[in-house]
Structure 1
Amino acid sequence: MCRESDMATSSFPLPLSGGGVRITGTWANMGAPSTDSVWRKVRGLRHRPPGAASTTERRAVFGAALEQAEQLFSAAKGVGYASRPLLLFYALSQAGRAVAAASRRATNDAWQLESHGIKADLANIRNLASISVQDKGRGSFTQLAPLVGSGSLAGGVPLGKIWASIPELSSVPLTSAGMPSFPALSYVHHQTASDVPDQEMRYIIYGWLVGLPARLLRKESEEKFATFLSNYPTLAGAQEAGTVLNRTVRRSDGLSFQLSRKWVAQGKESAEELQNRLTVAYLGDDVRYAFPAFDGGKLPLHPFLAWWAVLYTLSMIARYEPSEWVKVLDIDANPD
């Protein structure tokens, strides 16, 4: 999952670079890649590290951190859920060190990550959705945010909201009473058009935003849609698609629906640059999402950091409250 404008043209499970790094190659025609093929591609980066990881010290950290990340992710497959969050979080943490080592945005010693940089209030573990997660203002989480173009969690944000912003998890939300969620919205491109005002071509792209909560259909109105979409900073400037798309609102699976919208490029921005500004590639070059911001932030929370927050919280419960974690995992007693 890369931010293509300043990272990679390939989509990896991790944002492996930043700040001007471009990794050639694409998986767009491979379909859904296997885990082994993904790691094979990532492992190949270590022969010729991208970006700032080409320097001696950073290269050593980049290679070692990726090696540890791969081993920890692989080891997590072999243990039960009682212990798995511990291995998964530290695997992601090591991957974060590789991201920082490769990022050209990380100057001086900023690429050397320190501490987790995040905390979770574990006072009410049995209600997972309500656990408050917050960055510490310093440490790895906060250091990585600007490197991947992400917002942070300056104020306490319920785990349930962060969970719902991850594409694979939005369809299985944590149980919570009356907690509005802002899921990752997948973007399906419909067509590109252009106009030529004052001899300067501007591109217009039309497409569907898929995954809006069905609750918004109870009172369909442009004002309500606009208010909801204001939680997605990159989608600013979204307009009604007019007659290009037949229906503004299309019902979907009963739990969510899709909404047509159009966006106009800024200045000399190309159609591709416009699409990359609006969305992030996730698990494949052709699968794109818009992600929400939390706490009134101006930048969306990158899915890499959303996973960081979720896995950190679950790992802390498993590590420091093992008996409560086992109860949380009880399928017969816990709806989550």
Structure 2
Amino acid sequence: MTAAHTAGQFTFDKHGLKIVDMKCGIPDIAVRPAGVGASQAVSDATESEPTADTVSLGAVWSSLPELAGLPLHGTKYTPAAEFMASNYPSVKDTEDWQTATTATEFLQATVWVNEDMPSLPDRRAWARDFLTRYPVLEGGDLWGDEDDVFVEIRPGRFSAELCWPAPKDGMRSSEIAAHFDTSAPVYRFNEHRHLRPAFEPGRTPPTPLMPWWLLLYSFSMLARYQPPQVDRGPRHRQVPRRSRLGILPGRRP
């Protein structure tokens, strides 16, 4: 794929990455760029934001939509969240809006979160915290009352309806889609969007291919140089695969 999208002859002679310390817990293992190699070539060919500094595997793992339901044990990073925006602007009573606004129309979206649904008294506080976890959601609020916009799908997973003042009235569906393309890009399926946290402060998340590349490179290095990290548990006792990776019990990759 990279060769097909690279002008001229495609070649590289090193990974372009380096693991800083292999002996800490898997979520805290850090990987950083090292010169120019395969990682940089793939990043350029796919027009993805390149990794510029040291990042932890916990942050990389959490940024991938496919792994949102499989958190690493002990990770503290914000995970990707499913996001579906309405194709049309909505009208909302602004009396209870948290900040002053002159908007007459709003953009509405639903997010799906892999957490226990907060109790009714805690939902407003949860929403404020959730919006701060994803800076691209700044200025948002709940769409309606706390008892109406939260829906429990199953234990450990729920949805919430959010909204934002529309940048202008009368936005078309194509303009709304373009508005959310940066904050919640489409991933794999039409209109199937995800909020993807950046794992480097102040930078746009790379395309999902690059986090996968970082993870596969890191696990291949661990398997080669620190096999106890991925093959054996305490006292060299063989343990199930999900425990080797630190995936929370009850979850399966």
Normalising by structure 2, report the TM-score: 0.67
Equivalent residue, structure 1, for 2:68: 170
Following TM superposition, by how much is the alpha carbon of 1:114 offset from its aligned partner in structure 2, in angstroms? 7.3
8 Å contact from structure 1 (residues 230, 236) kept in 2: yes
8 Å contact from structure 2 (residues 16, 36) kept in 1: yes
Equivalent residue, structure 2, for 1:15: none
1:259/1:265 Cα in 2 relative to 1: closer, same or farther (>3 Å)? same
1:290/1:209 Cα in 2 relative to 1: closer, same or farther (>3 Å)? same
Following TM superposition, by how much is the alpha carbon of 1:124 offset from its aligned partner in structure 2, in angstroms? 2.0
Following TM superposition, by how much is the alpha carbon of 1:132 offset from its aligned partner in structure 2, in angstroms? 1.8
Equivalent residue, structure 2, for 1:54: none
Please give the residue correspondences for 1:293-308 in structure 2 after superposition, counting only pairs within 5 Å: 293-308=198-213
Following TM superposition, by how much is the alpha carbon of 1:130 offset from its aligned partner in structure 2, in angstroms? 2.4
Equivalent residue, structure 2, for 1:250: 151
Give the Cα separation in 1 of the matches to 2:241 and 2:48.
Answer: 40
SS state at 1:172 partner: coil
Following TM superposition, by how much is the alpha carbon of 1:154 offset from its aligned partner in structure 2, in angstroms? 1.9
Please give the residue correspondences for 1:104-253 in structure 2 after superposition, counting only pairs within 5 Å: 115-124=14-23, 127-136=25-34, 139=37, 141=39, 144=43, 148=47, 150=49, 152=51, 154-157=53-56, 159-176=57-74, 179-190=75-86, 192-193=88-89, 204-214=106-116, 220-242=122-144, 247-253=148-154
Give the Cα separation in 1 of the matches to 2:167 and 2:45.
Answer: 23
Please give the residue correspondences for 1:54-93 in structure 2 after superposition, counting only pairs within 5 Å: 66=1
Runs (5+) with no aligned partner, structure 2? 92-102, 246-253
1:270/1:155 Cα in 2 relative to 1: closer, same or farther (>3 Å)? same
Following TM superposition, by how much is the alpha carbon of 1:326 offset from its aligned partner in structure 2, in angstroms? 3.2
1:230/1:213 Cα in 2 relative to 1: closer, same or farther (>3 Å)? same
Give the Cα separation in 1 of the matches to 2:120 and 2:136.
Answer: 25
Give the Cα separation in 1 of the matches to 2:12 and 2:139.
Answer: 36
Runs (5+) with no aligned partner, structure 1? 1-65, 67-94, 103-108, 196-200
SS state at 2:58 partner: helix
Following TM superposition, by how much is the alpha carbon of 1:204 offset from its aligned partner in structure 2, in angstroms? 3.8
Following TM superposition, by how much is the alpha carbon of 1:191 offset from its aligned partner in structure 2, in angstroms? 5.1
Equivalent residue, structure 2, for 1:35: none
Identity %: 22
Alpha-carbon RMSD across the aligned residues, in angstroms, is: 4.0
Following TM superposition, by how much is the alpha carbon of 1:112 offset from its aligned partner in structure 2, in angstroms? 7.5
Following TM superposition, by how much is the alpha carbon of 1:314 offset from its aligned partner in structure 2, in angstroms? 0.8
Give the Cα separation in 2 of the matches to 1:282 and 1:209.
Answer: 15
Equivalent residue, structure 1, for 2:178: 273
Equivalent residue, structure 1, for 2:98: none
Length, aligned pairs only? 224
1:217/1:308 Cα in 2 relative to 1: closer, same or farther (>3 Å)? farther
8 Å contact from structure 1 (residues 185, 210) kept in 2: yes
1:251/1:148 Cα in 2 relative to 1: closer, same or farther (>3 Å)? farther
